[in-house]
Amino acid sequence: MGIETVAVYSTADRDSLHVRLADYAVCIGPPPSPQSYLNRNNLIMAAAGAGCGAIHPGVGFLSENAAFAKLVRDRGFAFIGPAPETIELLGDKVAARDTARRFGLPVTPGSAGAVDSEEAAAKAARELGFPVIIKAAAGGGGKGMRVVRRAEELAGNFALARSEAEANFADNTVFIERYLENPRHVELQILADKNSVAVLGERDCSVQQNHQKLIEESPSPGVTETMRSRMAEGAVNLFRELGYTGAGTIEFLVEGENFYFMEVNARLQVEHPVSEFVTGTDIVREQILACTAGRMELEPDKVSLDGWAIECRINALSPGKITRLEIPGGPGVRFDSFLYQGCSVPPFYDSMVAKLIVHDSTRDRAIAKMSRALDELVIEGIRTNRERQKLVMRDPKFRSGRFGTHYYEEINGEAENVF
Ligand code: MV4
């Protein structure tokens, strides 16, 4: 795009690849994130000092923080994300659920709004029928959730859910839904500007462990053409009504032919490359155009889905120095990473060190390509989950495409000696 880039880094990331690749780089503090990557003042000072026009908040840290988005704007920078008011509304899962329902999206049967007493919880659970799930209104991504299978266990879990919500989010608001036993996690990639809302197909993120996604693919093996267009229609209505700008994701739980709205992630996500592959779109480029010029180049009617893409997250199981790195390549193979030979993986931050993404004409061919790419990938000096990802690619159940969110714990239970 011809835009000069300024990277920010903590002292732990001084030698990181993004620092080398950026046109300029500014140190924003010591390793603990509250003192660097979450330090708003340091971030604003870095941007001001470097003469930035816009701030891209990335995929974690302050990327969904309404107050930060507002501060960025108030200081005269463009924020590469939706408006602070939109982030705020979507951050409240009760309000988001309510809004989605008003715009015709199916939501999981659940309490009408927040549940603020043991009696209200008991009443909601009785109406819904067990099992139920208690969720934090300020949560999302699986934090602060409790599954309750019997009426006797409700009061205790309600109290625990509230105190966990208070401890994690400084907000003890919770709500209750009927619990679906083994749904798929399906999410739609959205790009929106002042004039239009585009849907870039869906991703299936059912392969996850402790709410950490491990494998994402597009399209979803469990979504039919009919479901796809019904989900897209609801999503477009919602995002248009929100006046949403930039990249976003709408998450659904899918059970058979039924889908239920769960939440909206008001940011770019880690797994966006699979959608880039199947739609041939540079999502970050469109996101930047939408949030700066107010107009993306993408035309919603021209989006089409081609072939199948799969992403395997490569996680470090230990910190250390990378003594050897061999990166797979070839048509339809992409490796996104901060690793290079000789670099160090610091003991801070998220364990994800790379994303291996492949694209081919069919799911079977994409799986074959991923297996080959995982074979070719060599990372020495740290332990990674590469071998586990190779086993999943060979697993008949994964290959059948018939699995839900409990898939990974199921295969780990069945083959404890293998994993
Ligand atoms: C659910 C659910 C079943 N029923 N909601 C996980 C992420 C967060 N955004 C919401 N999640 C779930 N919500 C209803 N009504 C299942 C999950 C879920 C899950 C729940 C408990 C333990 C592991 C899980 C793994 C994936 C999804």
Question: For the chain, what are the domain ranges?
Answer: 6-88, 109-178, 184-412
Binned at pLDDT 50, 70 and 90, residue 98 comes out as very high
Residue of minimum CA distance from atom 15 in ligand 1: 179
Q: Which of the listed CATH numbers 3.40.50.1110, 3.40.1440.10, 3.30.1490.20, 3.40.50.970 matches domain 109-178?
A: 3.30.1490.20
Residues with a catalytic annotation lie at 267
Mean pLDDT, residues 300-328 taken together = 98
Report how far ligand 1's centroid is from the alpha carbon of 406 (Å). 9
The pLDDT of residue 355 is 98
**pLDDT at 249 exceeding the cut of 90:** yes
Give the pLDDT score at 413: 74
pLDDT at 419: 37
What is the H or E stretch that residue 276 is in?
A: helix 272-279
Please tell me the predicted confidence (pLDDT) of residue 414.
52
251 Cα: distance to centroid of ligand 1 (angstroms): 11
Q: Tell the burial category of 218 from Cβ atoms under 10 Å away from its Cβ (0-12, 13-18, 19+).
A: buried
The Cα 231–Cα 238 span in angstroms is 11
Report the pLDDT value the prediction gives residue 20, as an integer from 0 to 100.
96
- Beta strand 78-79 pairing with 54-55: parallel
Residue 300 has pLDDT above 60, yes or no: yes
pLDDT over 60 at 415, yes or no: no
Ligand 1: atom nearest CA of 140 is: 9
* Whole-angstrom distance, CA of residue 83 vs CA of residue 235: 18
Rounded Cα–Cα distance for residues 356 and 78 (Å): 31
Instruction: Report d(CA 357, CA 334) in Å as an integer.
Output: 5
* Mean pLDDT of the 339-350 span: 95
Domain 6-88 CATH assignment equals 3.40.50.300: no
Rounded to an integer, the average pLDDT of 279-308 is: 98
Task: Tell me which residue has its CA closest to atom 10 in ligand 1.
Answer: 142
CATH topology of domain 184-412: D-amino Acid Aminotransferase; Chain A, domain 1 (3.30.470)
Residue 416: pLDDT over 50: no
Where is pLDDT greater, at 97 or 144? Answer: 97
The sign of the CA dihedral 80, 84, 88, 90 is negative
Rounded to whole angstroms, how far apart are CA atoms 137 and 114? 8
Mean pLDDT of the chain: 96
pLDDT at 60: 94
Give the C-alpha separation, 294 to 244, whole Å. Answer: 11
Percent of the chain scoring above 70 in pLDDT = 99
Residue 95's pLDDT band (cuts 50, 70, 90): very high
pLDDT higher than 70, residue 30: yes
- Which atom of ligand 1 is the closest one to the Cα of 132? 15
The mean per-residue pLDDT over the stretch 309-328 comes to: 98
Q: Which DSSP letter does residue 301 get?
A: G
**What are the two backbone dihedrals, phi and then psi, of residue 223, each rounded to the nearest 5 degrees?**
-115, 120
- How far away, in angstroms, is 35 Cα from ligand 1 center? 32
Write the DSSP string, 192-232: E-SS-EEEEEEEEEEEEETTEEEEEEES-TT--HHHHHHHH
Residue 385 pLDDT grade (very low, low, confident, very high; cuts 50, 70, 90): very high
Best mutation site among 108, 212, 262, 409 for ligand 1 pocket (most ligand atoms within 8 Å of CB): 262
Residue 142 clears pLDDT 90, i.e. is over it: no
Q: Is there an atom of ligand 1 within 6 Å of 262 CB?
A: yes
Report the predicted TM-score, pTM, of the whole model to 2 decimal places.
0.96
Tokens of 320: 């250390």
